[in-house]
Chains A and B, each alone.
Chain A
Amino acid sequence: MKRHLISAADLSRDDAVLILDTAEEMARVADRPIKKLPTLRGRTVVNLFFEDSTRTRISFEAAAKRLSADVINFSAKGSSVSKGESLKDTALTLEAMGADAVVIRHGDSGAPHRLATSGWIGGSVVNAGDGTHEHPTQALLDAFTMRRRLVGADASTGQDLAGRRITVVGDILHSRVARSNVHLLTTLGADVTLVAPPTLVPIGVENWPCEVSYDLDSVVGTSDAVMMLRVQRERMNAAFFPTEREYARRYGLDGERMAKMPEHAIVMHPGPMNRGMEITAEVADSPRCTAVEQVTNGVSIRMAVLYLLLGGNEPALTATGTSTRTEESK
């Protein structure tokens, strides 16, 4: 049984669909006069954030509170102890406080995996973004948004994204969102194409279950969803691309490019958006852009994940066997 959600690669198709279906029910709770369920009463969820991410933290916080869990926010940033000591010692502290789940955001890839396999804590670990590795709940909320828009909220129970064409555009190299989405969307049957300047595509991408293109115009016309990733302006200083203007021209989504997309196709963005960089205001504010919906859906997805991990005496998600992750050798 999986106790943790570390990587989207650990989810089987059935697990992923179960999470989406559960999120669909959670979404209905948001429409009620009382947006709260007693389900996780007496459970403690710790948001352990080593990086600032107000958006992700409040999303998890809202999810846990709607399920009546007790929420402790632990911001470890600025702590004077060295990073290594602080992760272990913090973990031991949380364990002593009886955390049933630790939602962790960390700047180092693999830190949640380490927390889950080190024996430091006994509770569930949920990866809320680690370095440039993964951000599985973001991928789940993206998939949930796509399923609602492309399949329909009411008709989608039990459905995956088979045959849908999803294009992810931007800084793939540094993007945990892209990594998680490639795993999850492929598991759900979608065809994924990554688009970026070659400098922002990782060496080794040829092993990923997706296509890679350097030309956005050649793929927008056949995409059911185009996901624009945030591109940090600082990347320019490390020579990943020459200027903002050139990046926006070649890899940004503007009204003209959006017009080439199929009528039903949607534009997605995990936020926060760099208007004028990867996306123009015209596109960001158009009804095809799901950025705000994604935020709403994020709470439903995180409720679903917390419920499935903590709602019983054991999690409802199964180990897939296809996972490449190995436990520590000893």
Chain B
Amino acid sequence: MSKILIRGAKILGGEPQDVLIDGETIAEVGTDLGAEGARVVEAAGQILLPGLVDLHTHLREPGREDSETVLTGTKAAAVGGFTAVHAMANTFPVADTAGVVEQVWRLGKESGYCDVQPIGAVTVGLEGRQLAELGAMHDSAAGVRVFSDDGKCVDDAVIMRRALEYVKAFDGVVAQHAQEPRLTEGAQMNEGIVSAELGLSGWPAVAEESIIARDVLLAAHVGSRVHICHLSTAGSVEIVRWAKSKGWNVTAEVTPHHLLLTDELVRSYNPVYKVNPPLRTEADVMALREALADGTIDCVATDHAPHPHEDKDCEWGAAAMGMVGLETALSVVQHTMVDSGLLDWAGVADRMSFRPAHIGRLTGHGRAISPGEPANLTLHDSAYRGVVDPAGFASRSRNTPYEGRELPGRVTHTFLRGRATVVDGKLA
């Protein structure tokens, strides 16, 4: 099989080195490696990262193929530098049986752009009442280890407790979408100064924080691990920090948009900024960045949520919640975390590859860049400056909040087990 020599890349932002890929694995790492028989990728000045891993992606298939399919979603993932994504369970039908998760897993295999690890629903139909067949989904070909009712909160404390306990049998984890339902009935945006002015129903921070507080206590009580999806408030950070200080097995993620955008943007009433959990305040954004830098928040997850144009081309109240994020995630992280001095590239590799792979127990991803490891790699040109143009997205949907915004950096190459899925910024 073919050899590829990546020449002069800064591995995790370090000194320039060459990386030789032979077949599906990394053969050699060093300086002045010979290029005989290898295709050479000149990477001087570029950052080489382990292939990115997303713990939170909505691929929409089956059911909403008008907004995204496994094929288009994995293409978007590859363009964004991802080599593995976790496909959320809120499809139609819901991924609450071995049959559905295997279908998604098989579609991922066929796409070839990015590994797709299905997430299973915690409860049947995301209804929060009866546990789905978690064991069957784990035992299926899809090998599910992450379970989530994302989009809905597992708000019943007993169901949550049972789920946390049950998945211990196969080292699974419940990823909680923390949203107290009664406190967020009809909620449209962050509750605060802006919502008061705009007359939009508030989504208070306490609705997220109270569930997180309950769930970390539950996880501690039953000795399980729990993962908190898309932290969005400074208070949530405090609770996770406290839980970790107790030594409890709690992990958490933050989305790129919660690291950058605030509820001030909602003043435009442009539904492209409508997302759940909602955009919060500047103080929350800063707390989330700090927490990602100090490791309180373990990883960045995109919550890539494609929606067709008509679901956003309407009034705020009628619009769908969510933003696409796969293709802009690394640029937003560079802008908010690296260029601001909060995190170095080794830190980015940790928060966007090593740790999410570890939380999802993905053995083939999030590995060191050293000989013998699978060649899942992302080459990132951090010096690039460009304006986000959704017309060029590989995703089927265009609902990005960054249209027209200048963001730094661009993924030039993505390698999935030695095969280039992206070359010079374009799908191979």
A326 near B317: Cβ-Cβ < 8 Å: no
Determine whether B184 belongs to the interface, using a CB cutoff of 8 Å to chain A.
no
Determine whether A242 belongs to the interface, using a CB cutoff of 8 Å to chain B.
no
* B251-271 vs A, Cβ < 8 Å mask (1 yes, 0 no): 000000000000001011110
Closest to B402 in A: A329
Task: Enumerate chain B residues within 8 angstroms of A3, measured Cβ to Cβ.
Answer: none
How many Cβ-Cβ contacts under 8 Å join chain A to chain B? 107
Q: Within residues 286 to 316 of chain B, which ones have a CB less than 8 A from any CB in chain A? A: 310-311, 313-316
A207 near B193: Cβ-Cβ < 8 Å: yes
A83 near B195: Cβ-Cβ < 8 Å: no
What is the bound-complex CA distance between A204 and B268, given in angstroms?
A: 18
B200 near A109: Cβ-Cβ < 8 Å: yes
Task: Enumerate chain A residues within 8 angstroms of B197, measured Cβ to Cβ.
Answer: 179, 204, 207-208, 324
Determine whether B198 belongs to the interface, using a CB cutoff of 8 Å to chain A.
yes
A130 near B318: Cβ-Cβ < 8 Å: no
Q: How far is the CB of A204 from chain B (nearest CB, A)?
A: 3
Closest to A133 in B: B199
Task: Enumerate chain B residues within 8 angstroms of A328, measured Cβ to Cβ.
Answer: 268, 270
Q: How far is the CB of A248 from chain B (nearest CB, A)?
A: 26
Task: Enumerate chain A residues within 8 angstroms of B128, measured Cβ to Cβ.
Answer: none
* A210-245 vs B, Cβ < 8 Å mask (1 yes, 0 no): 000000000000000000000000000000000000
Interface bin, chain A: 35 or more
* B187-201 vs A, Cβ < 8 Å mask (1 yes, 0 no): 010011111111111
What is the bound-complex CA distance between A328 and B273, given in angstroms?
A: 11
Q: How far is the CB of B308 from chain A (nearest CB, A)?
A: 11
Q: How far is the CB of A122 from chain B (nearest CB, A)?
A: 17
Determine whether B404 belongs to the interface, using a CB cutoff of 8 Å to chain A.
yes
Residues of B within 8 A of A (CB-CB), count? 31
Q: A132-B199, A204-B192, A207-B197 are in contact. Are A327 and B315 (CB under 8 A)?
A: no
* B395-411 vs A, Cβ < 8 Å mask (1 yes, 0 no): 00000000111000000
Query: Which residue of B194, B201, B269 contacts A114 across the interface (Cβ within 8 Å)?
Result: B269
Binds B, one of A84-92, A262-270, A285-293: A84-92
Determine whether A205 belongs to the interface, using a CB cutoff of 8 Å to chain B.
yes
Task: Enumerate chain B residues within 8 angstroms of A134, measured Cβ to Cβ.
Answer: 199
Determine whether B319 belongs to the interface, using a CB cutoff of 8 Å to chain A.
yes
Task: Enumerate chain B residues within 8 angstroms of A207, measured Cβ to Cβ.
Answer: 193, 196-197
Q: A204-B196, A325-B267 are in contact. Are A107 and B313 (CB under 8 A)?
A: no
A contacts, CB < 8 Å to B: 82-85, 87-88, 106-111, 113-115, 117-118, 130-134, 176, 179, 202-208, 324-330
Can you add 10 more A-B contacts, CB < 8 Å, to A113-B269, A133-B198, A207-B196?
Answer: A84-B311, A84-B313, A108-B318, A110-B316, A113-B268, A133-B199, A134-B199, A203-B204, A205-B196, A330-B404
